[in-house]
Amino acid sequence: MTSIHPLQYLDPEGNKTQDLPNTCTSDWLLRCYHFMVLSRQFDTKAIALQRTGQLGTYASLLGSEAIDVPTALAMQKNDVLVPYYRNHACQITRGVPLEEVLLYWGGDERGNAAEKMQQDFPNAVPIATQSLHACGVASAFKIRNQKRAAVTLIGDGGTSKGDFMEALNVAGVWQLPVVFIINNNQWAISVPRHIQSAAAQLADKGLAAGIPSMQVDGNDPIAMQQAVQQALNRAYEGKGATLIEAISYRLSDHTTADDATRYRPSDELKVAWEKEPLKRLRNYLVSQQLWDESKEQALHEKISTLVQTAADKYVAMPPQPVSSMFDYLYFEPTEQLQEQRDWAEVRAMTGGSHYQEGESS
Ligand SMILES: Cc1ncc(C[n+]2csc(CCOP(=O)(O)OP(=O)(O)O)c2C)c(N)n1
Ligand SMILES: [Mg+2]
């Protein structure tokens, strides 16, 4: 079995539960808080855009800020992020412009190839496939003898897939420089954690593959920073993979196409909000005289301008011609495809934006 208590430095009220590591300097804490607030405001805007017919189906990041932001901050620039569909906070913290993230969720594939993504992978929507892709990336680093790591995230539900178990197996036996992070947000759409797996902890799954595995309080950014930094150091030192199970809660619906009130007990959600990550870090910052109401207000104003500017840029971005979806399939299109391309072009004359209301991803 893995440890009984998840790693934690801050309790839900932001009080220290043990001495903080030296790596968590004031600068780091403020930077982390900045990106957590930015991610949350981005999320609110994305949902508003979807609700007004300007974005496709969108997966909210609410409740995952303390997992994704510290992970991205701990990674080196040339490490590779292999995300699933709920990791926009990671992408934003790694420098992907907000409008590019919106572009992807608007159904425009160019959002999957933002220049700032560098070698990071696009979002994986097919559950758990990204775990194996990360092992491929990590194998390349190992063969080239590079001091780099692949970092991949997955949901609790995703850990039930064979791909995940296969990825753990190969990462363990080949000692691959990969960090697996489970965002255990307690739900896989409407399926609660307790009927997903009989394992006492999802982190236990790593032990069978010979991988050091631990549970971490996923609402505590400091605990996440420590866990991810240690895992990255192991990877850089050639010691192989690590599995981190971050305990969190999905504070949102599964996506904008879901209504969680149909299956999620409201009292459970209420309790989860008491443990949410932003309040925890903010309370700690205030207790250290690093933060106050006027700084909070100034940050919100600054970020709200950033987010609005990005949303405006996204909305103003000219869509790709509809023909582009045919252009990258074959060097020469087949006769049938050519016919379809011509038909699509004619149809596009009737108008077209990134996203047509009524469509879903
Ligand atoms: C191979 C595959 N099967 C099913 C789905 C449909 N699906 C989308 S999200 C999801 C639940 C995933 O839950 P979890 O792994 O806990 O991640 P979370 O969304 O909670 O972050 C499912 C079954 C899919 N995308 N891919
Ligand atoms: Mg989940």
pLDDT tens digits along 201-259: 999 999 999 999 999 999 999 999 999 999 999 999 999 999 999 999 999 999 999 99
Which secondary structure element, helix H or strand E, spans residue 235, and what is its range?
Answer: helix 221-236
Residues in the chain: 361
List residues bridging with 217 in a β-sheet: 247
Among residues 307, 323, 321, 326, the alpha carbon closest in space to that of 352 is found at 321
Q: Which residues are catalytic?
A: 250, 254, 263
Scanning 17-128, the segments in alpha helix (DSSP H) are 26-51, 65-74, 88-93, 98-105
Q: Compute the average pLDDT of residues 271-279.
A: 98
Q: Give residue limits of the domains in the chain.
A: 26-316, 323-361
CA–chain centroid gap for 270, Å, is 23
* CATH architecture of residue range(s) 26-316: 3-Layer(aba) Sandwich (3.40)
Ligand 1: which of 189, 197, 205 to mutate, most ligand atoms within 8 Å of CB?
Answer: 189
SS3 label, residue 65: helix
List residues bridging with 100 in a β-sheet: none
Ligand 1: which of 127, 159, 196 to mutate, most ligand atoms within 8 Å of CB?
Answer: 127
CA distance 174 to 167: 11
Residue with the nearest Cα to atom 26 of ligand 1?
126
- Spatial contact of 168 and 138, defined as CB atoms under 8 Å apart: no
* Cα radius of gyration (the chain): 21
SS3 label, residue 38: helix
Interval 76-111: pLDDT, tens: 999 999 999 999 999 999 999 999 999 999 999 889
**Ligand 1 mean position, distance from CA 157 (Å):** 6
pLDDT at 324: 86
At CB < 8 A and 24+ separation, what contacts does 164-170 make?
164/128, 164/131, 164/205, 165/205, 165/209, 166/131, 166/132, 167/128, 167/131, 167/132, 167/134, 167/135, 168/131, 168/205, 168/206, 168/208, 168/209, 168/211, 168/241, 168/243, 169/209, 170/132, 170/135
pLDDT at 319: 86
Residue with the nearest Cα to atom 18 of ligand 1?
155
Interval 134-163: pLDDT, tens: 999 999 999 999 999 999 999 999 999 999
CA distance 96 to 185: 24
Interval 14-52: pLDDT, tens: 999 999 999 899 999 999 999 999 999 999 999 999 999
User: Is it the case that residue 186 has pLDDT exceeding 80?
Assistant: yes
